[in-house]
Structure 1
Amino acid sequence: MSEWKRKRFWKEVGVAPVDEGFTVELDGRRVKTPAKAALVVPTRGMAEAIAAEWAAQEDEIDPRSMPFTRSANAAIDKVRAQFDEVAEIVAAYGDTDLLCYRADFPQGLIDRQTAEWDPVLDWAETALGVRLRAHSGVIHRAQDASALARLAAQVRALSAFQLAAFHDLVTLSGSLVLGFAAARGWRAPEEIWRLSRLDEAWQEAQWGVDEEARQMAETKKADFMHAKRFFDLS
């Protein structure tokens, strides 16, 4: 990451159309990724978001303040180069989906999971053509192979930029179905994130809030919201 630790050397930041999309220019010179690939993104909106991050840098470049740039770099340098591997990792969440592993005690939590998670599985049956089976307990129970294959095909249909964001939507929520629900706008991303935290919220209501865990959850929520914005701009 040494290439990030440098002073700002440019005065003007611009967005320019290129053959495969849009790029960002610093004093007329095109930005490259850490792997020295051309930073070309699919939409003007994404390029403008990246350009705004570069324009906001002051004396020293701070990559922590540049989430769109980092996500675009990941899409180009990592996801595009290892698309099949990333798609396989993400699709595998369908067989261990958070929404399918239900509590067997207490009844209040069982009822809440049923009321809040079943509608997402209902949506997936219509929108994704797949009905995943829910069960009590944490022991793994394999889902139907044909259902998983249909979900995997929809993951592979994403572009590299979409998959970079979708990877985070799924891994942060622990659910392939919630990832699709966020990507396809089933409900507001804040509501989908809340559904992914149902068990944690129940524990907090019973035993109180652990401040360190709460801060970690807020960081993950911010990352989830960013992933949704990046997906939409893809």
Structure 2
Amino acid sequence: MFAMLPSLCRFHRQFSRALLPLVSRQVELKLLSSSTHVQRAKYGNATSERKKFYRDVTISQGEGGLYEINLDRKKLKTPGGKLFTVPNEALAIAVATEWDAQKDTLKFYTMHLTTLCNTALDNPTHRDKDQIISAALKFLDTDTVCYRVEEPPGLVELQKNEWDPVLDWIERRYNVVIGSSFSIMGPQIPEETKETFRQHLGSYNFWSLIGLEYVINQLKSVVLSFGLIDRHLTVEQAVLLARLEEEYQIQRWGNVEWAHDYDMYELRARTAAGALFAYLSSESATMKKKILQD
């Protein structure tokens, strides 16, 4: 069952494992304490480790057709004390894989899908769909690919060559105008564009919006996130484009190798997890078979 995961799930799992040897515990805690999806009180435990207390991970279907995660014979619960349930088997398989992949110590900070499910179930900030959509759209005014530099010439050319094609694609795809700007104020995004994206986001269910907002938050870009969700970009491409200026500076001046690797793998893991969560949360019984095919 666990071998039937989509490519995004493989990305998420591989990147999460790859980053573990690269960081100290202090760096992990500092990064995760800033997560906007973790409530400081009950959700603070997401930054901790715990000795593994189970051997087997299984899924089962409970009331209302919802799926549950079982650790040995105990049902998993959320930080808020709710029964941990997900809307379909595909997402249950992906979450169970996170728990199954843990070794002697549970590293909660690598279990992004579990964290997103906890957020959707407990909704610690008590937001509705409209509030999530509004929060996501705020990134459009400060979108990564819309802010351009005027120097050095090498970076100017790089941004034009790499970001313009993505902007052209999304403007054609959604029949909108976005543009770019050298001004610190950024481009003036037309209200019609915002309304088009608002309506598009409104077509997603609550769970999928949690995942999509998470991706937007990671990439700091609505444009790149839509490109990823629409499968115009891969995870690696979206992350590289989000880090374009940083990668340029690294190529020019060098870098601290372990720190660069950690940042890259962590961003890939989180982005892949958010996209996978959005896909699996919106799937129907028919879509599930398609998504799970390798």
Q: TM-score, normalised by structure 2?
A: 0.70
Contact 1:90-1:176 within 8 A present in 2 as well: yes
- C-alpha change, 1:124 and 1:70, in structure 2 (3 Å) is same
Q: CA deviation at 1:145?
A: 1.1
| Alignment of 1:221 onto 2:288 | no
Letter of the aligned partner of 1:175 in structure 2? S
Taking the TM superposition and a 5 Å limit, the aligned residue runs for 1:120-199 are 120-199=166-245
Return the alpha-carbon distance in structure 2 between the equivalents of residues 57 and 95 of structure 1.
39
Letter of the aligned partner of 1:108 in structure 2? G
Return the alpha-carbon distance in structure 2 between the equivalents of residues 197 and 2 of structure 1.
29
Q: CA deviation at 1:124?
A: 0.9
- C-alpha change, 1:193 and 1:82, in structure 2 (3 Å) is same
Letter of the aligned partner of 1:39 in structure 2? F
Task: Provide the residue aligned with 2:122 in structure 1.
Answer: 77
Contact 1:122-1:131 within 8 A present in 2 as well: no
Q: Of residues 161, 164, 168 in structure 2, which corresponds to 1:115?
A: 161
Total equivalences in the alignment: 234
Q: CA deviation at 1:143?
A: 0.9
- C-alpha change, 1:162 and 1:34, in structure 2 (3 Å) is same
Q: Of residues 59, 63, 66 in structure 2, which corresponds to 1:21?
A: 66
Contact 1:79-1:163 within 8 A present in 2 as well: no
Please say which of residues 109-118 and 19-28 is displaced more in the overlay: 19-28
SS at the partner of 1:135? Answer: coil
Q: CA deviation at 1:194?
A: 0.9
Q: Which runs of 5+ in 1 are unaligned?
A: none
Task: Provide the residue aligned with 1:202 in structure 2.
Answer: 248
Cα deviation digits, residues 20-71 of structure 1 (max 9, x gap): 5322123454322111223221331210122233344566644234322112
Contact 1:182-1:188 within 8 A present in 2 as well: yes
Q: TM-score, normalised by structure 1?
A: 0.86
Q: Which runs of 5+ in 2 are unaligned?
A: 1-43, 282-294
Contact 2:84-2:118 within 8 A present in 1 as well: yes
Percent of matched pairs sharing the same residue:
27
- C-alpha change, 1:99 and 1:13, in structure 2 (3 Å) is same
Return the alpha-carbon distance in structure 2 between the equivalents of residues 60 and 171 of structure 1.
28
Q: CA deviation at 1:79?
A: 7.4
Please say which of residues 113-122 and 201-210 is displaced more in the overlay: 201-210
- C-alpha change, 1:78 and 1:202, in structure 2 (3 Å) is same
- C-alpha change, 1:80 and 1:39, in structure 2 (3 Å) is farther
